[in-house]
Structures are given as C-alpha cells and as structure tokens.
Structure 1
Amino acid sequence: MFFTLAFFSLLIERLCGYPQWLVHAIGHPVIWIGTMIGWLDKKLNRAEQNFSRRKIMGVVALLAILSSVVSVTAGLSWLLGTSLLAFVVLVLLASSLTAQKSLEDHVLAVADALDAEGLASGRRAVSMIVGRDPDQLDEPAVCRAAIESLAENFSDGITAPALWLGLGGLAGGAAYKATNTADSMIGHRSERHEAFGWAAARLDDLINLPASRLTALLFVLACFFVPDASAKDAWKTVWRDAKKHRSPNAGWPEAAMAGALGLALAGPRVYSGTLVPDHFMGAGGRREATATDIRRALKLARYADILMLALFGLLAVAGLLISRA
C-alpha cells in the first residue's frame, strides 16, 4: 500500500507541483519543519556550551523534530483510516514531500536566463538553487552548478522522499524530509553548527545512501532514451569517481550525470569566499558546459523520472497482488 501511495504522490507532484497560492495561504511542510528547527537551534545551540554539550543538544533537537513529525503524520494516517477518500487525502499530503516540478522549473530557469539575458541573469537564477557565491561563477561554472544541483537534488529531493514514502508511508516520507531539512539548515561544518548539526548531518548521510545509488542507476538507464547521452560512460564514471566525492552520496548522481553528458562536474568550488577542495566527477570530461548542456541534463532527468515512476508503479502492483494472495 505504501508504494501505491508513493506512486500516486509522485504522479500528482509531477503534474501539478505544490501550488504557489497554497504556499501563500498555509505555507509548505518544509517551511513548518524549518520553523521548528530554527527555534530549537536558537534555544538549544548556545555559544557558551562546550563542543560535547552542543553535540548532545543537537541529538536532542533532532529527536524532538523527528518524534514530532512522525507523531503528527502517523496519527493523521491512523485517524483518516483506510477508505478511498482517506487514501486520496494521504496522496495529496505526500505529494508535498517531493519536488520534481519545482526542481525542473528552477534548473530550466537558469538555461532560459542565460539564453535570454546573459551571465548576470544566469547568476541570479542559479543563486536560487546553489549555495556557492554566484559572483565568482563564469558562464560554464553557472551551467555546471545548475547541472550538479539537478543531479544531487534529484536524489535527495525526489528519489529519497519517494523511497521513504514507499517504505514507511506518510510518516516515513515526512521523517526523511525533516532530517534532510535539518541537515540543510544546521548540518554545516561551521563554528556554530559543526557540533550541534552533527547528528542531523550523519543521519542524513545514512538515509540518503540507497536513494543516491538508485538515482545513479536511473540516470544510467535513462541514457538509453537520450540519443546524445552515454550509458557506458555514465556507468564507468560512477564506479571510478563517485566514491571520491567529499559527500558519501552526492558523488553518485553527479558522477552518473557527468559521464552521461561527457562533462567534468564538481571539483573545487567557492562557498562564502572559501575555496572548498573536491575531486572531479567525470575527470577528463569537458568543463566548458553551456545552457544546451543544462537542457540535455534536464532531458536525462525527465527520463529518469519516468523510469522511477514505472518502478514504483510495478512495486505498487506487486504489493497489491501480494496483499490479495
């Protein structure tokens, strides 16, 4: 039943996204969770505490976030029951946890901005989806940043929440989203958050392991439907480069995307004026990425999305058949 929920929530979000009027009216689950994380960060993460104490407080904060989110969503699922109307409501709620349409729209905006108005506009557009300093990026770097963001966020913004929806229902998907949001807000190696965000960062790494590998596989398989993409090179690049990335997960989809498109992604990047070293994904590939490459990457991601929908559809049918056996 959970994979049926995941399949239909993916389908609804792919077609409709999360309406902007709804954001203005009631917000978004990520905003609600983020508000809770920000409050706990302010209350529990105090500069006068030593490193160990702040680490413990970070664990307490993460447990408070997860217990709250799971209690609310599991309780809501139980109250709704098992009717068809209840399932429709759960699908609509679950569809807010993935970001297929918004991710595509934001990445496409970068290519459109570069084509229509040039580098300055492209920098503004890419600043909406990456944390690096846009003023330090030339046009190829803007394009690489957009493609890298597409690859990484496909994994942790689409595949992972869908997978945890399939495994744990609405509560599983919401718990994943809460952890991922906590990692994005406090899981940094900064003076303020290195200790307090340790638990969130480590848990996020762990729960993204299966999704990052699945996303890489989906990108490889999607190459068979994109004429100018290479499944062979994508596969080789994943096995050669993915494990070299500074993140245990981001390297997998980024390496698959790099190999598929013949690009060299990742490598050293500047965040808040600081050069962060990293290995190249697709070493030896082309660094001069263009807006056309962004569109090629989006085409590959669309086919990967279709393949994921097909996979979850098959799992949903298998689950229904097993339940009736």
Structure 2
Amino acid sequence: MALSDSLLTLSLALAAEAAFGYPHRLYTWIGHPVTWIGRLIKGLDRSLNRETRSFGECRAAGILALLILLTMTGLAAWILEWLFLPLGIVGLALLALLSGTLIAQRSLHEHVAAVSEGLRDSGLDGGRRAVSMIVGRNPQSLDEAGVSRAAIESLAENFSDGIVAPAFWIGVGGLTGGALYKAANTADSMIGHRTPRHEAFGWAAARFDDLVNLPASRLTALLIVAAAALHQGASARNAWRAVLRDASHHRSPNAGWSEAAMAGALGLRLAGPRVYGDVRIEDRWMGDGRAEANADDIDRALGLYRTACLLLFALAAGATLLTWIIAR
C-alpha cells in the first residue's frame, strides 16, 4: 500500500471510529479483532508454553509464538488489502472501517467518563466499580483521589498504546501495519507479565511491544502538550517540563511519557506507589502537582484527550494532503 493510501486510510479510520466506535451488537455477533487475536494467543500459550521446558526453551518458544502470531495476523490483513485496494475509493473506505476497529478513541472516552460519573452518582463505591473495568490494581485499596488518578493514568497510557500507536502504524503500513501492532500489543497484555508462567514465554512479546510503542509514546506526549496549550487552566510548559524530568523514571519505557505530560498539564501527580492484588509497587511520581485528584480532574483530562484526538486527526489529514501534493 502506498504511503498516500495508508495515510488516507488512517484519516478516514480516525473519523469513522470517533463518530461510531465499534457497535456493541456487532461485538456480540462476531466479536472484535482483538478477541480473535486473543484466541490465537491463548492457543499458542497452551500448545507451546509447557512447564516441563527450561527457562531458555520457554523463551525460545515465546519467540516462536510471537513470530507465528505476527505472520498469521499480517497475512490475513495483507490479503484483505490485496482484495480491497483494486476497488479504488470504495476499497479504501472498507479498509478504513476495518482499520478503525484497531483504534479505541470512543470506547476509552466512555470507560474513563464512567469513572467520573460513578464518583458523582454513587460515591467512592461507584468510582471503584467503574475504575476496576480499566485498571489492574486493587480498587479496594483506592480512595477517591486514588480512583481519580487511576482513571487519568489509564486515559493517558491508553491514549498512547490504544490510539496513537495503532494510528501511527496504520499511517506507516495501512491495515497490515495496524494489525501487526495490535497483535503485538495484545500479546504483551496477555502474556508479557513477569509471572512464573510467563516470565520466559512472554519475554519476546513484552520486549517487542516496548519497541513498537517507542515512536507513538513520544508523539503522544507532544499531542498532550499541544492540547494543553489550547486549554485554559492547563499548562503546556509544565507538561513539557514534567516529560523531560519524569518520563524516564517510569518503570515502563513508554508509559511515562504520556502520564508525565498529562500530570504536568493538569498540575497533578500521577503514578507513584500503587497496589496490584496484594502487591505494593513503589513507582516514581509523574509530575509535581497535587495528588488529591477528583472527578473534576478526570473531566479536565478528558477535555485534553478530546483535543489531542482532534490534533491527531489533523496531523493525519495534513500528512495525507502533503503526500498528495508531493506526488503531483
């Protein structure tokens, strides 16, 4: 797929997904590309990740599983491109609709907004119920400020790996590029954990996901900084300072960029110590503002997020136009 076609596909995909999302009825009928990828990952985990194997053998099996996953996902997406591209603008529109299923602008907004609504309508219990749908930490360990920070952190991190990253790879490689990224990211979320079962087998998935998220995490920080410059009550300067000071101290090589930018923009402290299950993780703070976040701060973060999504679309549309001008 030519770069101009992949960028047009991206622009259309971003607009369509923001407008319509992924219909729930369609999800209940046929599932979602992520669920299909997830079934393949589970099958590879069951068949290749055996307890009788040594650490090195499990790591090699995990590399093989990742290669199989990427090959099968990439081939399926490439076949769809091969079938649809000859159809011209109709084919590109169909590819854009398929590519839009790999982006989660609308659903992320809905899930994070539900936390704000839960806090306002049902107090701390409502906020805990809503935030448990989007974070892995123990919700019972969170007070109102902790629930609010968790929602904002999830918004920032998922803006990077759930929206900007797939958008970046769709822009670079069309549906195939986006599908390959989504396969890698889903593998990391399912098997890329340092648990007894997956520490060796999921090593390749975790490292590869870190690699493919590098460009998008930096772009996400820039989008949040730019969005802060357009919002009264947000600070682009503090967002950029927080990125430069704190992003590299996050335990993830990528998540710190978006979380630090969001924290600085809103005058908050995000990340920091947290509890997953019964385990307390001593993470560094992102930002140097107040830690006492609330539902209003979630709404402010959502406002920045919406603006950043518009900036991402403008960037994609501008890049599309530029490639057309150059081609002529």
TM-score (norm 1): 0.98
Tell me which of 62, 80, 101 is aligned to 1:76.
80
> 2:198 aligns to what?
193
Question: Following superposition, which runs of at least 4 residues in structure 1 exceed 2 angstroms of deviation?
Answer: none
Say yes or no: does 1:160 pair with 2:169: no
AA aligned opposite 2:13: S
Measured in 2, the distance between the counterparts of 1:69 and 1:302 equals: 30
AA aligned opposite 2:318: L
Aligned residue pairs, count = 323
Say yes or no: does 1:101 pair with 2:133: no
> 1:278 aligns to what?
283
Q: Deviations over 1:138-188 (max 9, x none)?
A: 110000000000000000000000000000110000000000000000000
> 1:305 aligns to what?
309
- The percentage of counterpart residues that share the same residue type is 56
Tell me which of 6, 12, 18 is aligned to 1:14.
18
5+ long unaligned stretches in structure 1:
none
Structure 2 contact 21–104 (Cα < 8 Å) conserved: yes
> 2:31 aligns to what?
27
Tell me which of 58, 62, 71 is aligned to 2:62.
58
Measured in 1, the distance between the counterparts of 2:300 and 2:258 equals: 15
Measured in 1, the distance between the counterparts of 2:163 and 2:174 equals: 15
Tell me which of 224, 231, 236 is aligned to 1:226.
231
Aligned pairs for 1:180-219 (under 5 A) are 180-219=185-224
> 1:247 aligns to what?
252
Q: Deviations over 1:211-252 (max 9, x none)?
A: 000000000010122101001100100000000000000000
AA aligned opposite 1:251: G
5+ long unaligned stretches in structure 2:
none
Say yes or no: does 1:173 pair with 2:165: no
Q: Deviations over 1:84-107 (max 9, x none)?
A: 211111011001000000000000
Measured in 1, the distance between the counterparts of 2:162 and 2:71 equals: 21
Measured in 2, the distance between the counterparts of 1:60 and 1:124 equals: 38
> 2:147 aligns to what?
142
Structure 2 contact 12–93 (Cα < 8 Å) conserved: no
TM-score (norm 2): 0.97
Measured in 2, the distance between the counterparts of 1:117 and 1:271 equals: 24
Structure 1 position 81, deviation (Å): 2.6
Measured in 1, the distance between the counterparts of 2:132 and 2:107 equals: 15
AA aligned opposite 1:41: D
